[in-house]
Amino acid sequence: MVIYGVYIVSKSGGLIFNHDHNVPKIEVEKSFNFPLDIKLNYENKKVVVVFGQRDGINVGHVLTAVNGVAVAGRELEDGRDALEMLEQSENFPITLKFSRAKMTTNEKIFLASMFYPLFAIASQLSPEPRSSGIEVLEADTFRLYCFQTLTGIKFMIVAEPSQPGMEILLKRVYDLYADYALKNPFYALEMPIRCELFETNLQTLLETVEKSGISNV
Amino acid sequence: MSRTGTKLDAKKVNSELFTLTYGALVAQLIKDYENVEDANKQLERMGYNIGIRLIEDFLARTGSGRCYDFRDTAEKIQSGFKIFLGITPSITNWSPAGDEFSLCFETNPLTEFVELPDNCSNLKYCNILTGVLRGACEMVQMEIACWFVQDQLKNDNITELRVKFVKRLEDAIPAGED
């Protein structure tokens, strides 16, 4: 029973709220000898494993530290270039730490605005007239549930495919939004939601649902 | 005004507290603007800003669907008054085209202790309500106009609020909306 995250998209398609809930953290640290037996590449401002999957280091994982020194982009904190270091045999043995790529806020905003036209296209593609947009989107590792209110705000939940009751949970999140975001006099409509009360109540709601199911909220 | 089931539970506020707070607001506005017309306008604007937020609470609470007929709308507005003010105004005086109706209030919690002084004869004391209705309907892509035709404060028998459908805001309807 895992809920991965909650997203709220405004009427105009901007991401106004996101909450990462229970994303399991995967981090692997391992020491390597020269020459390096996994293939790394620099893409999207990250050093990514592109081939050679083993010991829990999977293709798509990102290099986060070299010998305990954090990596930002392709540079170490002290300014050395990570990929260059890995080509020089005198730097070995070397300890590398990999983790699953984390989405930055910018990427989330980008993806949220990608979903917006997708949702609209789905309703156009429908063989039946006046179809709704995407309500559930399923993949092998997650399901995305989307609920659009009459006013055009979209509430989205990303959860494990087996997690039941997510449609009801979406309505509960809408309740919380109506209470703690809209009744907050300092919250401006269509702007990102930075309301602590909303966040804490949402957190409690998600935890209750995960622990004891949707019937208890 | 949280609903049952959440930790706060349905909190009922004594309507007198609400009446007095609203009275204080109106009195302050008249003092600030020194002009009844401006106070009317300001009340409508405040109501509008309340309406565009309050509609979400109404929808989340009732789970009501979209209206395809102005009669649906009238009933939903009526139920809104029940939820937020605890009163049920009657729906009357439909225009033949079905695009205009009146809400008649026998009692009105906003005006419970109010007598209008002579210098305020033009004041639309409850004008905040017209703003609330306009704001709420606008958020569900419906433009309406709304005004008072009778007012108990002006020695009418009842308070009558006229609501007129202007148009559907077609280009504001969200995609994929059934």
B113-124 pLDDT, tens per residue?
A: 999 998 888 999
Q: A177 and B56 in contact by Cβ < 8 A? A: yes
* Mean per-residue pLDDT, B163-176: 88
User: Which residues does A103 contact at the CB level (< 8 Å), separation at least 6?
Assistant: A111
Task: Look at residue B78 and tell me whether its pLDDT is greater than 80.
Answer: yes
What ipTM was reported for this prediction?
A: 0.86
Q: B66 and A150 in contact by Cβ < 8 A? A: yes
Nearest CA to A159 out of A19, A16, A48 is that of A19
Give the long-range contacts of residues A77-82, CB within 8 A, separation 24 or more.
A82/A47
Q: Give me the domains of chain A, ranges plus CATH numbers.
A: 3-23+104-216 (3.30.450.70), 34-92 (2.30.42.40)
Q: Please tell me the distance in Å from A206's CA to the nearest CA on chain B.
A: 13
**Nearest residue, CB atoms, A131 vs list B6, B139, B178:** B178
Q: What is the C-alpha separation between B106 and B156, in angstroms, rounded?
A: 11
Task: Look at residue B2 and tell me whether its pLDDT is greater than 70.
Answer: no
A46-84 pLDDT, tens per residue?
A: 899 999 888 888 888 999 899 888 888 888 888 888 888
- Residue B10's pLDDT is 55
Chain A contact for B49 (CB, 8 A cutoff): no
Q: Please tell me the distance in Å from A207's CA to the nearest CA on chain B.
A: 14
Number of neighbouring beta carbons within 10 Å of residue A198: 22
* Mean per-residue pLDDT, A167-174: 95
